[in-house]
Amino acid sequence: MILAGVILAEAAAVYDGLNAVQTQSYGPEARGGASRSEVVIARGEIDYPKVMAADFLLCMSQEACDKFYSQVKEDAWIVVDSSNVSRVPSLRALGVPISDVAEAATGRRITASIVSLGLIGGLTGLVSREALEKAVVDRVPAGSEEMNLQALSAGFAQAERLLGTAE
């Protein structure tokens, strides 16, 4: 999810002309554990580079959900990867099988973080699809661009399904 945070911040700042700051923290469990990527996006100045109370929380693991769910605003979006999170501490949380969607769309569960970017973009409208597409192409390994764009599209499709705007 660290790369997803970097891509989200880049999409906002470089391609959508917003202000953005991205920070990250993780221990030895960088893949599959409770790593954390924070992105602050604003139209105006950013006074503090860390998230005090999140507007959107995405939990890709049970450990991350247990550790971070209490650090959100009362009206925040909480989305969990229901492929990996079985105990959701809030009735407000949306369960989306992000890892399963990634595997179905690309054949690789590792693209789940890119699926999540499409989901975030589609649910919030905070960053444009075009900006996310450009930032994904800029940041993913050479040769994997098409696969990652498929993952991004799958995330947007999940958002449309959740919002009831799917065709």
CATH label of the domain that carries residue 108: 3.40.920.10
Structural tokens at position 79: 């989305």
CA 162/CA 157 separation, integer angstroms: 9
User: Helix or strand or coil: residue 140?
Assistant: coil
pLDDT in tens, 3-23: 999 999 999 999 999 999 999
Its domain, for residue 137, covers 2-163
User: Helix or strand or coil: residue 5?
Assistant: helix
pLDDT in tens, 81-133: 999 999 987 778 999 999 999 999 999 999 999 999 999 999 999 999 999 99
Using alpha carbons, list the distances in angstroms from residue 101 to 31, 89, 156, 158: 18, 23, 11, 9
> What number is the average pLDDT over the span 38-54?
94
What's the predicted TM-score (pTM) here?
A: 0.91
- Split into its structural domains, the chain has a count of 1
